C-alpha cells in the first residue's frame, strides 16, 4: 500500500505515516519497493513471524510466572489454615 493510501485512512499527516513506515522498515516489520515515484509497503512475513514468536514466548513466561505465584499463594493460605486449626485444638 502506498503512503498516500495509508495516510488517507489515518488521522495523521503523510509525513508522519512515512516516518512510522521508515521505523517499521528498519525493524523488519514492513518491506517496500519503488513503483514510479511512489513507495509501496507491505508486511514482512518474516518480521511478523519473529514478533509473533517473541509475544508467544513472553506470554508463556508471564503465564507460567502467574501460575507459580498462584500456587505459592494457595500453599501459603493452606499452611496458614492448617496452623490455625492446630492452634485451636
Residue 89: what pLDDT? Answer: 67
Instruction: Copy the grid coordinates of residue 37.
Output: 515515484
What stretches of 1-89 show up as alpha helix (H) in DSSP? Answer: 3-9, 14-26, 45-88
Instruction: Copy the grid coordinates of residue 40.
Output: 509501496
Measured distance CA(54)–CA(36) in Å, rounded: 36
Cβ pair 6, 17 in contact under 8 A: yes
Cα 79 from chain centroid? 38
Q: Among 12, 27, 43, which residue terminates a domain?
A: 43
Number of domains in the chain: 2
**What CATH code is carried by the domain that includes residue 38?**
1.10.10.10
Domain boundaries, position 75: 45-89
Q: Same domain, yes or no, for 13 and 28?
A: yes
Per DSSP, what are the bridge partners of residue 34? 39
Q: Same domain, yes or no, for 21 and 32?
A: yes
Q: Same domain, yes or no, for 73 and 53?
A: yes
Q: What are the pLDDT tens digits along the chain (89 aa)?
A: 999 999 999 999 999 999 999 999 999 999 999 999 999 999 999 999 999 999 999 999 999 999 999 999 999 888 888 887 777 76
Cβ pair 13, 7 in contact under 8 A: yes
Q: Same domain, yes or no, for 39 and 49?
A: no
Amino acid at each position: 500500500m502506498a503512503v498516500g493510501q495509508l495516510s488517507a485512512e489515518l488521522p495523521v499527516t503523510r509525513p508522519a505515516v512515512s516516518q512510522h513506515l521508515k521505523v517499521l522498515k528498519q525493524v523488519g516489520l514492513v518491506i517496500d519497493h519503488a513503483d514510479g515515484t511512489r513507495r509501496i509497503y507491505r508486511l514482512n512475513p518474516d518480521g511478523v513471524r519473529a514478533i509473533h514468536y517473541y509475544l508467544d514466548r513472553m506470554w508463556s513466561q508471564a503465564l507460567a510466572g502467574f501460575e507459580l505465584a498462584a500456587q505459592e499463594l494457595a500453599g501459603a493460605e493452606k499452611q496458614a489454615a492448617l496452623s490455625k486449626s492446630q492452634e485451636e485444638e
